[in-house]
Structure 1
Amino acid sequence: MHGLGNDYVYINCLHQKIKHPNELSVFVSDRHFGIGSDGLVLICPSDKADFEMRMFNADGSEGNMCGNAIRCVGKYVYDNRLTDQTDLEIDTKSGVKQLNLTIENHRAVAAEVNMGEAVLRSRSIPVETDYDEFISQPMLVHGEVYLVTCVSMGNPHAVIFCDDVDSIPLEIIGPLFENHEKFPERINTEFVQLIDRSTLKMRVWERGSGETFACGTGACASVVAAVINDHCDPGSEVTVRLKGGELKITYQEDHTVLMKGPATHVFDGTIDAPIA
């Protein structure tokens, strides 16, 4: 399944266990020898929510949260009649998230997700800095100074506003930000172009996966950064244009973030995996 081209392999783990998900993610994510994806998602039982989502990046590292993947989890459990509810709670490593599914012809086609509160405190993101919040702070990367705003949406993000996202050499700059010494747990990096106060254009370098077509948490972090830097308005829905399509994001007055976007099924199948 995919959310705006951010594609993952999903495994129903309600009645089976995957012993080595890190290694399996590397295998299935390979677009030549595996299935090909941005990573692996396990749909698991939960004792605190309706279901649990575990997600692994293409390099095998486990992530805390993925906004595009969680919409697809909602679609999977509804379409496969694992639930008849359209309001769901999904447990993640960054806490329980609430989903409201959009149903057409008895299938879930989209979801609105309450992503919880945006975290700005540097220590909690984490960012190695003396500033309590890392907002529009200069960083020297690859010989250039970038103004960076850091936000956590359950996973860490560095947001940089620029005039033209298409001209950014992301394959060079992305890894340098991801592995910068300021970010002890690595970081996802978003380059954001301001179209107007209700529209952003974004490219993303995801830690462990590289450039992807979309990143839900990254779109949320970008809107939060845009609001606190007075580029967008709090409480207003902002359209974020990504390589794979558009997400609708609202940074609410209570500091929680709402995300609306599609979820798309591609195919089901089986694979002979050397590690499971």
Structure 2
Amino acid sequence: MQLKLTKCHGSGNDFFIIDEITNDYRFSEMERAELAKALCNRETDLGADGILYILKSDHADGRMRVFNEDGSEASMCGNGLRCVARYVCELLGKESALIETMKADLEVKREKDIYPDIPTYLVEISPVSFQLKDLPLNFEQDTLINEKIPNLSEKLTFTALAVPNPHLISIVQSKEIHSDTQKHLSEYVNGPNEFFPDGVNVSFVKSLDKGHIYVRTFERGVGFTNACGTAMSASSLVTCLQGINDLENAIQVHNNGGKVCCVVHKNKDQYKIDLIGNATYVYQTEVTLDLKDPQSFKIGEKDLYLAEEKQYANLQAEVQAFLSQYL
């Protein structure tokens, strides 16, 4: 079959978009997973962190399904949602849309450029839960907010939350950022372990200045990525809970892939987060493959979005210069 792909990224977290709204594609669940393994393999001429399948919805403007490079399905992906937001809004000629995801219907809209000539979208990150059963985390209490987990770390404290995918977040100093602590800890909780039967995204967060944080994330099913949208959103919320930043105020979240802006809202006991950042296209191409053997694909010519990539490289350079003052 001939398969059209759009390579895109949010904060350097890169994906392939497969459009099932305008194309007559039909995939089984196994085929979706195997396609992700094949096309996201970075040892090939493609490679990405995951695939964003955009489907028709019976009540929203579009439906998003996210498959990681290991073939597992994620319940949510903030960086991917921004890319889907752009694709659906441009496809329908709209400035805002409603996107159906696994756990919730989320509002998205075009936003003022986060950097000159960089397409920018605001996406809603919700629902938020601190109930450990929603991650799940096997621990003898209902919630874990800025507390230690015995046998996991003697020094670090953690906050666990689902947004709705699971996150374990620790506020750290530069020495932890530059150590192997996060790598070893993340590999443990994403392998056979007593705490997280389904694994968990692990983020280390460094406060840089009021309204500025740095987030590095080990993503479940992927490993270390340039950025994770839900992790940056969850991390922003955690810094508000600890008094580092304030609700309703913009938080500049810096990462290895660039930066985003987050605003945390609270209504009674419910939180939601605005995640604002780039939705950059890298190239479009077609691949020829057999769904019975997706590893043996052939790639057509790549139609590059050079101007978009150049502008994003400029943003990245500014972010790295800023981070060099703090990390």
TM-score (norm 1): 0.92
Aligned pairs, number: 272
RMSD of Structure 2 on Structure 1 (CA):
1.9
Q: Which residue of 2 aligns with 1:268?
A: 284
Structure 1: 4+ residue segments shifted above 6 A: none
Q: Deviations over 1:237-265 (max 9, x none)?
A: 11111101111111112211111111000
Q: Which residue of 1 aligns with 2:185?
A: 173
Return the offset for 1:108: 8.3
Instruction: Specify the SS of the correspondent of 1:214.
Output: coil
Q: Deviations over 1:143-169 (max 9, x none)?
A: 644211011111000001110153132
Higher alpha-carbon deviation: 227-236 or 86-95: 227-236
Higher alpha-carbon deviation: 252-261 or 229-238: 229-238
Q: Deviations over 1:194-218 (max 9, x none)?
A: 1123111110000000000011100
Q: Deviations over 1:65-117 (max 9, x none)?
A: 100001101112233xx20111100011121110011388xx98111112123
Of 132, 136, 142, which residue of structure 2 is paired with 1:132?
A: 142
Return the offset for 1:133: 1.2
Q: Which residue of 2 aligns with 1:223?
A: 236
Is this contact kept in 2: 1:141–1:177, CA < 8 A? Answer: no
Sequence identity (%): 27
Is this contact kept in 1: 2:248–2:265, CA < 8 A? Answer: yes
Q: Which residue of 2 aligns with 1:95?
A: 104
Paired with 1:17 and 1:89, the residues of 2 have a C-alpha distance of 23
Q: Given the alignment of the two structures, is residue 194 of structure 1 paired with residue 203 of structure 2, yes or no?
A: no
TM-score (norm 2): 0.78
Instruction: Specify the SS of the correspondent of 2:71.
Output: coil
Paired with 2:272 and 2:235, the residues of 1 have a C-alpha distance of 14
Q: How does 1:45-64 map to 2 (within 5 A)?
A: 45-64=56-75
Return the offset for 1:136: 1.4
Higher alpha-carbon deviation: 134-143 or 161-170: 134-143
Is this contact kept in 2: 1:214–1:242, CA < 8 A? Answer: yes
Q: Which residue of 2 aligns with 1:7?
A: 14
Higher alpha-carbon deviation: 154-163 or 188-197: 188-197
Higher alpha-carbon deviation: 254-263 or 95-104: 95-104
Instruction: Specify the SS of the correspondent of 1:94.
Output: coil
Instruction: Specify the SS of the correspondent of 1:184.
Output: coil
Unaligned runs of 5+ in 2: 1-7, 295-327
Instruction: Specify the SS of the correspondent of 1:265.
Output: strand
Paired with 2:235 and 2:157, the residues of 1 have a C-alpha distance of 13
Is this contact kept in 2: 1:6–1:212, CA < 8 A? Answer: yes
Higher alpha-carbon deviation: 12-21 or 48-57: 12-21
Is this contact kept in 2: 1:78–1:108, CA < 8 A? Answer: no
Paired with 2:290 and 2:185, the residues of 1 have a C-alpha distance of 34
Q: Which residue of 2 aligns with 1:183?
A: 196
Unaligned runs of 5+ in 1: none
Higher alpha-carbon deviation: 168-177 or 184-193: 168-177
In the superposition, relative to structure 1, how do residues 90 and 143 fare at CA in structure 2: closer, same or farther (>3 Å)? Answer: closer
Higher alpha-carbon deviation: 153-162 or 221-230: 221-230
Is this contact kept in 2: 1:24–1:273, CA < 8 A? Answer: no
> In terms of Rg, which structure is larger?
2
Higher alpha-carbon deviation: 132-141 or 156-165: 132-141
Is this contact kept in 1: 2:89–2:96, CA < 8 A? Answer: no
Higher helix share: 2
Of 264, 267, 272, which residue of structure 2 is paired with 1:256?
A: 272
